[in-house]
Amino acid sequence: MTDRPLTLMAVHAHPDDEATGTGGVLARYAAEGIRTVLVTCTDGGCGDGPGGAKPGDPEHDPAAVALMRRQELEASCDVLKVSDLEMLDYADSGMVGWPSNDAPGSFWQTPVQEGAARLAELMRHYRPDVVVTYDENGFYGHPDHIQAHRITMAALEMTELTPKVYWTTMPRSMMQRFGEVMREFHEDMPEPDPAEAAAMAEIGLPDDEITTWVDTTAFSGQKFDALAAHASQGENIFFLKMGKERFGDLMGMETFVRVQDATGAAVPENDLFAGLR
């Protein structure tokens, strides 16, 4: 045994992703005395600017947006009690098909081995026992989420480390419930076209394919406040409209697929650190 604390490293694409996908586990494990390391790969410069200004609008200033989002990210990390924040500061690539996908210096255009080498250095420094990132489709196809997955898996191959590795996901039953709540809050929301509905149906996994169910209900208030810290991003407003109690009911369970493990811990499991303590 050593004096080195157990360490969780979460690798995310943008400021606010840490709260949406892993806010509960970051808060829970910080409360349990585990070191929590957040790596955010991009500067978030393709996010909404003041007044909801979108990329391409004359009043949208990517550098100003990136600065604002860094401040929001730091506030979120304070709420979640994240031990260490590391930013790779690649330029935000934007959504699929945006011109920013092709911009020189964007995360999507960065060679995987280059990003992986930088992340591998952080892994060697922090020596995480658990690493969390996205699946190969970035959960829903966002270029920067896919790239975060690629550099994380490549970085692991560059190191001698053997952490437990997880990909974030959501059970289909929860996706269905989430859709019902969205329609409840947006009664005028049009029905998606068949192609969009089919694509949505493929997001997440069947419940019986989820390996890891972590109950973070007790920390859902922190997760809610972490999302609120990213006030500039309009997509978070839907979650905040629910109020903390309803939010906790819907978002209190965080789910993952375990893809690398040297502990032999049985699945399904209810703890990312099962077999490590």
pLDDT in tens, 191-234: 666 666 566 667 789 999 999 999 999 999 999 999 999 999 87
- Side chain identity at 241, as an amino acid letter? K
Note the pLDDT of residue 147: 98
In DSSP terms, which residues pair with 37 in a beta bridge? Answer: 9, 84
Distance in angstroms (rounded) separating the CA atoms of residues 144 and 11: 11
In DSSP terms, which residues pair with 36 in a beta bridge? Answer: 8
Note the pLDDT of residue 1: 46
The H or E element that residue 168 is part of is strand 164-169
For residue 48, the Cα-to-chain-centroid distance in whole angstroms is: 18
Nearest Cα to Cα of residue 106 among 119, 95, 120, 118: 95
Phi, psi of 2 (to 5 degrees): -120, 170
Its pTM stands at 0.92
Phi-psi region of 180 (alpha: psi -120 to 50; beta: other; left: phi over 0): alpha
Domain 7-172+207-260: which CATH class? alpha beta
Structural domain boundaries of the chain?
A: 7-172+207-260
Helix (H, G, I), strand (E, B) or coil at 253: strand
Note the pLDDT of residue 195: 66
Cα atoms found within 13 Å of the Cα of residue 119, Cβ hemisphere only: 35
Q: Are 99 and 50 in contact (CB under 8 A)?
A: no
Under-50 pLDDT residues of the chain: 1
